[in-house]
Amino acid sequence: MTTTLSREQIAAIAAEHERARRTATPIDPVTRRHPDITLDDAYAIQAAWIDLMVADGAEVRGHKIGLTSRAMQQAMHIDEPDFGALLDFMFVPSGATLRAAEYLDPKVEVEFAFVLGDRLVPYELGRDLTPDDVYAATDHIVPALELIDARSHRVHPDDGRTRTVLDTISDNAADAGIVVGTERMSVADARAGRLRWAGAICSRNGVVEETGLGAGVLNDPVMGIVWLADRLAGIGIPLDAGETILAGSFTRPIDCRIGDRFEVDFGDLGVITLDFD
């Protein structure tokens, strides 16, 4: 790893992010204070923050992949996706009402999630991971919404400077919540190509804001899981049985405002709703 921050600095910044989450009070982006931090620094901060939440009683229930589209990677000046962890308190049911005051700058993205039935670790297979390996480890696939947030200012109020991808990665890849649908797609259907053509219509307050297809994620959402499993294996993190893995968004983020109601129609995979009070 190539880091520029000390262990003490990483721990302090992780604690700042946790305070920001708990108090809904944004902090300065890391790169504003440490402009020379590396990708390894950012993931070290993320890992320290996750460890802090787990030490306080949270449980890692899965992982997410972000920045899966080429356009988003170019906009964020990165040449690969990013990742974060899903904690147990982030899971909310369809039909839930969330308090907008508990978030800083919430947005919704539309995705598919793989629910694993078996452990998925590339080095245990002794070869490169394939989509077939992912499907073999998958129990089923569900529609999902990801709630993203920014514990550090997306745009700083003092000078309008926007945060970078390193700030987002430090911020647990902007993870804030996940809403999982109840209808399931079988692995057999996904293998047959149905997942690439599965899509959704996302409406906010009755107005269609975004539509998209699963193929918007690396041409096939399963490829996001392949990438994530390989990336996490490189730092010793397995994808375990029972975990939920968000494969990446096939829509742009949509702002969540007080009074907003989201209805996301996945066709025969059902409808997910979410309200902000």
96-113: pLDDT as tens digits: 999 999 999 999 999 999
Task: Dig out the tokens for 229 from the structure.
Answer: 């499993």
| CA 26 – CA 44 distance, rounded (Å) | 20
Question: Does the pLDDT at position 169 exceed 80?
Answer: yes
Mean pLDDT value of segment 13-33: 97
Confidence of residue 67 (pLDDT cuts 50, 70, 90): confident
Question: Mean pLDDT across the chain, nearest whole number?
Answer: 93
Cβ contacts of residue 98 below 8 Å, gap of 6+?
92, 106, 147, 177, 256, 274, 275, 276, 277
Confidence of residue 191 (pLDDT cuts 50, 70, 90): very high
| pLDDT (0 to 100) of residue 81 | 83
| pLDDT (0 to 100) of residue 34 | 96
Question: Does the pLDDT at position 74 exceed 60?
Answer: no
| pLDDT (0 to 100) of residue 70 | 58
| CA 250 – CA 66 distance, rounded (Å) | 10
Q: What percent of the chain has pLDDT over 90?
A: 86
Per residue in 119-128, pLDDT (tens digit) is: 998 877 777 8
| pLDDT (0 to 100) of residue 3 | 84
Per DSSP, the three-state class of 199 is strand
CB 202 within 8 A of CB 211: yes
| pLDDT (0 to 100) of residue 127 | 79
| pLDDT (0 to 100) of residue 228 | 93
Confidence of residue 20 (pLDDT cuts 50, 70, 90): very high
| pLDDT (0 to 100) of residue 207 | 98
Confidence of residue 1 (pLDDT cuts 50, 70, 90): low
Q: What percent of the chain has pLDDT over 70?
A: 95
Q: Which fold has domain 7-276?
A: Fumarylacetoacetate hydrolase; domain 2 (3.90.850)
Let me know if 83 is exposed, middle or buried by CB neighbors in 10 A (0-12, 13-18, 19+): buried
